[in-house]
C-alpha cells in the first residue's frame, strides 16, 4: 500500500466549526434558507441587486427570477397569491428560475422578494428602497380608509340634518317605503300610526300646518 501521508489530528475547533461545502447548490441553499427562516431563498447579484428581469417569450413577456434555491414551488405559490398572476418553475444548467407572466409585475416582484427577506446578499440600498415602497403603500391605504370613513360620516350627517325639513311632492312620497315615511314623520314630531294612505296624507301636509 502507498503512503497516504501524515494523518491530521482532529481538534476541538473541527467539532465547533465544521467546514462548509465549497460548492454545490445544496450547501448554498441550506445557508440561505437558515438565514431567512423560509424554505426558499434567492441569491442576489454580485452588486447586491435582485436577479429578476423581463424577458420576451413567443406571445408574451415574463419576469424571470434567477438564482432560486430551496423550495421553489413555495416561492412561486407566494408570488402567485400576491400578484394574482400565472407562473412556472424552470430548471437548467444555470440553476432554478421562476417565470411570472406579465412584465408589469417586475417592480412588485422586486419589492416582494426584498420585503420578505429571502434575497440573500441584497445591498442595504435595495432593502431600504423596498421598505420605503411598502411603507408608502401602507400609509396610502390607511389614508384612504380614513377618507372613506370621513365621507361616510359627512353623508350620514347631511342626510339626518335635513330629515324632517323637506317638502315632498305626491310622487316622492308614494315612492317611499313605510319605514321611510315613519322616519320623516317622527322627525316632524308627527304620529307614525295608520295605514300607508294616512302616512302619505300626513307627509304631504305643509310643515307649518297645525295638527
User: Has residue 95 been placed in a domain?
Assistant: yes
d(CA 46, CA 104): 25
Q: How far is CA 73 from CA 27, 87, 148, 172, 173, in A?
A: 19, 10, 39, 61, 62
At residue 47, does pLDDT exceed 60? Answer: yes
d(CA 44, CA 52): 10
Q: Give me the CATH number covering residue 107.
A: 3.30.780.10
User: Has residue 12 been placed in a domain?
Assistant: no
Domains of the chain: total? 2
173 and 119 share one domain: no
112 and 195 share one domain: no
33 and 105 share one domain: yes
pLDDT of res. 197: 85
Tens digits of residue pLDDT in 4-24: 555 555 544 444 444 444 444
168 and 124 share one domain: no
User: Has residue 17 been placed in a domain?
Assistant: no
109 and 173 share one domain: no
124 and 175 share one domain: no
Domain, as residue range, for 97: 25-132
Tens digits of residue pLDDT in 140-194: 777 766 666 566 555 555 544 555 567 778 888 788 888 888 888 888 888 888 8
3-state SS of the chain is CCCCCCCCCCCHHHHHCCCCCCCCHHHHHHHHHHHHCCCEEEECCCCCCCCEEEEECCCCEEEEEEEEEECHHHHHHHHHHHHCCCEEEEEECCEEEEEEECHHHHHHHHHHHHHHCCEECCCHHHHHHHHHHHHHHHHHHHHHHHHHHHHHHHHHHHHHHCCCCCCCCHHHHHCCCHHHHHHHHHHCCCCCCCCHHHHHHHHHCCCCCCC
pLDDT band at 205, cuts 50/70/90?
confident
44 and 120 share one domain: yes
User: Has residue 153 been placed in a domain?
Assistant: no
User: Has residue 173 been placed in a domain?
Assistant: yes
User: Has residue 1 been placed in a domain?
Assistant: no
- Whether 62 and 102 have beta carbons less than 8 Å apart is answered as yes
Amino acid at each position: 500500500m502507498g503512503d497516504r501521508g501524515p494523518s491530521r489530528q482532529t481538534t476541538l475547533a473541527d467539532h465547533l466549526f465544521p467546514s462548509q461545502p465549497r460548492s454545490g447548490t445544496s450547501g448554498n441553499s441550506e445557508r440561505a434558507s437558515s438565514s431567512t427562516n423560509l424554505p426558499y431563498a434567492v441569491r442576489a447579484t454580485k452588486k447586491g441587486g435582485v436577479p429578476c428581469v423581463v424577458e420576451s417569450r413567443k406571445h408574451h413577456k415574463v419576469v424571470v427570477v434567477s438564482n432560486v434555491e430551496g423550495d421553489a414551488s413555495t416561492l412561486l405559490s407566494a408570488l402567485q397569491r400576491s400578484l394574482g398572476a400565472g407562473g412556472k418553475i424552470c430548471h437548467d444548467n444555470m440553476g432554478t428560475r421562476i417565470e411570472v407572466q406579465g412584465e408589469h409585475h417586475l417592480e412588485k416582484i422586486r419589492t416582494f422578494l426584498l420585503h420578505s427577506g429571502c434575497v440573500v446578499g441584497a445591498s442595504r440600498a435595495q432593502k431600504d428602497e423596498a421598505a420605503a415602497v411598502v411603507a408608502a403603500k401602507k400609509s396610502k391605504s390607511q389614508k384612504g380608509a380614513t377618507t372613506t370613513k370621513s365621507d361616510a360620516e359627512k353623508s350620514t350627517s347631511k342626510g339626518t340634518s335635513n330629515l324632517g325639513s323637506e317638502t315632498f311632492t305626491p310622487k316622492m312620497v308614494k315612492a317611499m317605503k313605510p319605514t321611510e315615511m315613519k322616519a320623516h314623520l317622527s322627525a316632524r314630531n308627527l304620529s307614525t300610526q295608520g295605514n300607508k294612505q294616512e302616512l302619505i296624507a300626513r307627509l304631504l301636509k305643509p310643515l307649518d300646518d297645525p295638527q
